[in-house]
Amino acid sequence: MERPLTANIRPDREPLDIDGYERAGGYRAVREALQRMTPEDVLAAVTESGLRGRGGAGFPTGQKWSFMPRGEGAPTPRYLIANADEMEPGTFKDRLLLEGDPHLLIEGMIVSAYAIGATTGYIFLRDEYRLAAERLRRALAEAAGRGWLGEHILGTGFSLDIHLHTSAGRYICGEETALINALEGRRAIPRTKPPFPQAVGLWGKPTVVNNVETLCNVPHIVNNGAEWFKGLSRTDNAGTKIYGVSGKVKRPGAWELPMGTTIRELLEEHAGGMRGGYRFRGVLPGGASTDFLVEEHLDAPMDFDAIQKLGSRLGTGTMIVLDDRTCPVAMVHNLEHFFAQESCGWCTPCRDGLPYVEQLLAAIDDGDGRFEDLDLLEMHTRHLGPGRTFCAHAPGAMEPLQSALRWFRDDFERHIAERRCPYR
């Protein structure tokens, strides 16, 4: 089984230096793209490959890039930003790439910047990822030293600088327009779309923001072609995926596997099944902002389309497992506490609605809930749902709640009827 994204990652996670990386075939895609392909060729290869964004939303990468204005008279400079602000609870996949193979991200950024005509790149990294920052800094210096970055790369007309920006911790910075505000030194609140960042982005110039895992796929697509990339997957959604499992399983971890690996296989084979004494109750398939799935969904392939069909989202592909001895109400309370705290406060429904939802859940969790509270919660899942708020933060927050009210309704009702938490 091919594992292009993690092929260089060693068990001790010590990354390859530039010599090791080049010996392993690294920076070949830069040569291929810059010397033998036009930017349009690279764009076509990525579009053709069917690569979809790995940050959570799953938007087709080639299509995103195609919104960049092209040709004579298109505004310059243009920017490429790697979104390395991984902060979705339960998600730890980009860290693996950032720490384990920083040159792969840099190579992905060079090829992608070439395709979209960007001359400056930023890696927007969360400040808590200290080890990643250290390794990226070293890798950037090495790449610049070899001439993979800077003026006239490989003697071509293409030049690129990449800077590392470390942020200061706020979930909303993962939203691409809030990230752009943060990078400009403003409060990180989302911007209205349209205009999309590809037209009016960083400092008003065309900008593409891509997730780390997305960018890391690009060199491999250039080297091996779109057909190869599609062939990596078990389903129609192309490529491999870095999946992860956390919670009370025997071996929590992250693994690169074919897109479309089933939830059951991830849980049982890779994560080793549930720990002794615990039984599977449900799972958030792709981080905190996805809907719970339950036992009847275990054979679903983990890809964008299949998980969406079940009413949830692939999200980041890193699953959080709920066991039978953990209270689902308390778990949702924990999740909504996070979302209420991390709301940027820009729009009223989210700023005021999420703390209210959190309070209702706290009351139910503590045995002080009323049956009417369940209707209030249901109402909020609609009023904070898609289209009601400025960005996807609040709708994302409603996903675990609405699905918990559906799959674990009995637990909510028992808390209210018995005036206590039955798990404590």
Partner 1 sequence: MLSPEEVAAIEHEVALYDRKRAACIDALKIVQQRRGWISDEDLRDIAGLLEMPVDELDAVATFYNLIYRRPVGRHVVHVCDSVSCWLMGTEAISDRLRERFGVSFGETTADARFTVLPIPCLGCCDRAPAMLVDGNLHADLDPSRVDEVLERYD
Where does 232-278 have alpha helices with state H? 263-265
Tell me the three state secondary structure of residue 176.
helix
User: Alpha-carbon torsion 306, 309, 315, 317, what sign?
Assistant: negative
User: Residue 287 Cβ, how far from ligand SF4 at the closest point, in Å?
Assistant: 16
User: Residue 189 Cβ, how far from ligand SF4 at the closest point, in Å?
Assistant: 6
- Indicate whether 286 belongs to the interface with ligand FES (CB under 6 A): no
- Indicate whether 191 belongs to the interface with ligand SF4 (CB under 6 A): no
Instruction: Kindly state the tokens that stand for 404.
Output: 């918990």
Residue selected from 7, 74, 131, 154 as contacting partner 1 according to rule CB under 8 A: 131
Tokens 């939303």 locate to 57
- Indicate whether 89 belongs to the interface with ligand FES (CB under 6 A): yes
| Contacted by 350, from ligand SF4, partner 1, ligand FES, none: CB < 5 to 8 Å by type | ligand SF4
User: Residue 288 Cβ, how far from ligand FES at the closest point, in Å?
Assistant: 9
Return the number of the residue (115 or 172) whose C-beta is nearest ligand SF4. 172
**Contacting residues for 186 by C-beta, under 8 A, at least 6 apart:** none
Say if residues 282 and 328 touch (Cβ distance below 8 Å). yes
Say if residues 187 and 179 touch (Cβ distance below 8 Å). no
| Contacted by 394, from partner 1, ligand FES, ligand SF4, none: CB < 5 to 8 Å by type | ligand SF4
Closest CA to 92 of 227, 240, 286, 262: 286
Footprint on residues 225-244 left by partner 1 (CB under 8 A)? 244
**Residue with smallest beta-carbon separation from ligand SF4:** 350
Closest CA to 239 of 33, 48, 97, 31: 48
How many angstroms from the chain centroid is the CA of residue 272? Answer: 24
| Contacted by 104, from partner 1, ligand FES, ligand SF4, none: CB < 5 to 8 Å by type | none
Residue selected from 10, 187, 193, 382 as contacting partner 1 according to rule CB under 8 A: 187
Q: Which residues are registered as beta bridge partners of 243? A: 255
Per CB under 6 A, the segment of 103-111, 310-318, 337-345, 362-370 that binds ligand SF4 is 337-345
| Contacted by 391, from ligand SF4, partner 1, ligand FES, none: CB < 5 to 8 Å by type | ligand SF4
- Indicate whether 357 belongs to the interface with ligand SF4 (CB under 6 A): no
Return the number of the residue (231 or 386) whose C-beta is nearest ligand SF4. 386
Residue selected from 90, 121, 353, 395 as contacting partner 1 according to rule CB under 8 A: 90
| Contacted by 316, from ligand SF4, ligand FES, partner 1, none: CB < 5 to 8 Å by type | none
Say if residues 236 and 52 touch (Cβ distance below 8 Å). no
The C-alpha atoms of residue 183 and residue 193 are separated, in whole angstroms, by: 18
| Contacted by 127, from ligand FES, ligand SF4, partner 1, none: CB < 5 to 8 Å by type | partner 1
Return the number of the residue (25 or 75) whose C-beta is nearest partner 1. 75
Footprint on residues 382-401 left by ligand SF4 (CB under 6 A)? 389-391, 393-394
Say if residues 324 and 277 touch (Cβ distance below 8 Å). no
Give the number of other Cβ atoms within 10 Å of residue 371's Cβ. Answer: 11
**Contacting residues for 221 by C-beta, under 8 A, at least 6 apart:** 45, 46, 49, 51, 229
Length of the chain: 424
